[in-house]
Amino acid sequence: MNYVFQFNVVWEHLPELLEGALLTIQLSATAMALGLCVAVVCAYGKSSGPRPVHWLVAAYVELIRNTPFLVQIFIFYFSLPVIGLRLTANTAALVAMTVNLGAYASEIIRAGIEAIPHGQVEAARALGLKRVQIFRFIIIFPAVKTVYPALASQFILLMLSSSVVSTISAVELTAITNSLASTTFRSFEFYFVATGLYLAIALGFRGGLSAIYWAVFQRGRAA
């Protein structure tokens, strides 16, 4: 091996890499929040909504889950302008990530909803609660608590897949790493460190999500 590693070059550009990491975190967190809303609505629609809504959501979910994320991004960024909807790269990235997460998360949450013992729903109905109220108070909280690990894993996956939005020139960690690697010709070192940064972000997200679980679901609440 006659290659000389020059990680000091990476060290010099660390601030830019960290800025990229921050952008990745912001992009992912926003997409998580929005995607979760989409997911809850879709889960409700598919499990308790009228038949047409059920099929619409089912089609949405199957479409997203059986096509690559990269192609979904291309459609949002390159195909939509043709019909007049022109999004900036970062906006297209956010929309694509939200739509993607929404599909996967809605299935996960739907599984949690179906795990709620039917007796609880019947009891709520007997008490005269309306459907939306039942969903809001009896169903969604325990459902999310049950499927939280699966949901957390899906969030991490989303954050990792954000690296692909670099192809449409959205600005995040991978895009910044690409440009640094190509200008300094130290590709291996930069990609190696960037990979480490992603790993750190993933671990951080795991910790953060665990903390959220503890704060929301386990502080002496009778769930």
Partner 1 sequence: MGRSFGTGEFLFLLKAIPSTLLLSLGALAGGAIVGFFIAILRIAPSRPLRWLATGYIGLFQGTPVLMQLFVTYYGLAVLFNIQVDAWSAVLLAFSLYSGAFLGEIWRGSIEAIPRAQWEAAACLSLSFPKQLWYVILPQAARISIPPTVGFAVQLIKNTSIAAIIGFVELTRAGQLMTNTTFKPMIVYPIVAALYFILCWPLSLLAQTLERRIDAALGLKQHF
Closest CA to 73 of 56, 89, 61, 85: 89
User: In the complex, what is the shortest distance from the CB of residue 156 to partner 1, in angstroms, rounded to a whole number?
Assistant: 7
Q: Which one of the spans 7-15, 91-99, 118-126, 189-197 is the region binding partner 1 (CB under 8 A)?
A: 189-197
Minimum distance, C-beta of residue 50 to partner 1, in the bound complex (Å): 24
Q: Is 194 in the site for partner 1 (CB under 8 A)?
A: yes
How big is the chain, counted in residues? Answer: 223
Distance CA 37, CA 43 (A): 10
What is the rounded distance in angstroms from the CA atom of residue 150 to the CA atom of residue 17? Answer: 30
Longest dimension (CA), the chain: 77
Residue 152 makes contact with partner 1 by CB under 8 A? no
- DSSP for 29-98, please give it: HHHHHHHHHHHHHHHHHHHHS-HHHHHHHHHHHHHHHTS-HHHHHHIIIIIGGGGT----HHHHHHHHHH
| Interface map 95-134 toward partner 1 (x if CB under 8 A) | ----------------------------------------
Per CB under 8 A, does 195 bind partner 1?
A: yes
C-alpha 75/C-alpha 156 separation (Å) is 23
Minimum CB distance to partner 1 smaller for 72 or for 98 = 72
As given in the structure block, the two tokens for residue 47 are 């499990």
> Rounded to the nearest whole angstrom, what is the least distance from the CB of residue 91 to partner 1 in the complex?
17
Q: Which stretch binds partner 1 (CB under 8 A): 7-15, 88-96, 130-138, 193-201?
A: 193-201
Q: Is residue 166 at the binding interface for partner 1, with CB under 8 A as the rule?
A: yes
Q: Which of 156, 169, 184, 216 binds partner 1 (CB under 8 A)?
A: 156
**Closest Cα partner for 48 from 138, 110, 119?**
110
Tell me the per-residue interface mask from 40 to 79 with partner 1, x by CB under 8 A, - otherwise. Answer: ----------------------xx-xxxxxxxx-xx--xx
2 neighbors 178 (Cβ within 8 angstroms)? no
**List of residues contacting partner 1 (CB under 8 A):** 1-3, 62-63, 65-72, 74-75, 78-79, 81-83, 150, 156, 160-164, 166-167, 174, 187-188, 191-192, 194-195, 198-199, 202-203
